Chain A
Amino acid sequence: AQSVAQPEDQVNVAEGNPLTVKCTYSVSGNPYLFWYVQYPNRGLQFLLKYITGDNLVKGSYGFEAEFNKSQTSFHLKKPSALVSDSALYFCAVSNTNAGKSTFGDGTTLTVKP
């Protein structure tokens, strides 16, 4: 069975500092990896995904993520955090074998001025 772990429930950073939100996964075969963001009382919004190719994926709002096959990780990063980045972030994995997407339990990112 496939699974996703987001080891940190909460990440706090100062505005202007780099941020990292961690994600590790377990799946049989090649993974498809996604990051979504959820603002209060809103549905999930797509940020970026890794399907194949370049391990560094660039997405919306200046976010990027690096696929690391040996460490089975897909950490979300941004060079300079904004207060408006404060939200709940979900990592998800799927693949052709397992089919449906499995989501992590989310990481709350708080960026302080």
Chain B
Amino acid sequence: EAGVAQSPRYKIIEKRQSVAFWCNPISGHATLYWYQQILGQGPKLLIQFQNNGVVDDSQLPKDRFSAERLKGVDSTLKIQPAKLEDSAVYLCASSPGQQYQETQYFGPGTRLLVL
């Protein structure tokens, strides 16, 4: 079974530029998560999708971050414009359903550096 795929793996941009990350979850997984992991901290949930609907985006900075999940499969997370404090690893994860006791399966992450 293929795992969660993410691209790019690394990205370096200057502040005020825009950037987009892509995620392809495990086939058949209904729930998709985007996390931000700042160095020295645990992952923080940015947004959770159930199929193509948003379940939780309470911690997403909506003035600069946006995300979509087209047709309930792939997802894109965008930052526009980027700030220095957005430097982090962006993790995508998926799980089979919506139950909160389900295991999440993580991709390798995208490491973003904002200069």
Contacts and interface: CB of A to CB of B under 8 A. Distances in A.
Interface stretch (B37-45, B63-71, B80-88): B37-45
What interface size band does chain A fall in?
20 to 34
B105 interface: yes
B4 interface: yes
Interface string B17-45: 00000000000000000000000111111
Interface stretch (A39-47, A62-70, A72-80): A39-47
Contacts of A96: 100
Nearest to B35: A103
Given A44-B106, A46-B103, A94-B100, A104 B42 contact: yes
Chain B, interface SS category: loop
A105 B56 contact: no
Contacts, number: 54
B9 to A, nearest CB: 8
Given A43-B109, A44-B91, A100-B56, A106 B42 contact: yes
Contacts of A49: 101, 103
A36 B104 CA distance: 10
A95 B101 CA distance: 7
A23 B48 CA distance: 25
A34 interface: yes
B44 to A, nearest CB: 7
A43 B91 contact: yes
Nearest to A88: B42
Nearest to A98: B100
B100 A43 contact: no
Given A41-B108, A45-B106, A100 B101 contact: no
Contacts of A101: 45, 100, 104
Given A100-B48, A101-B45, 4 more contacts: A34-B103, A92-B42, A99-B55, A100-B45
Interface of A: 4, 32, 34, 36, 41-46, 49, 51, 90, 92, 94-96, 99-101, 103-106
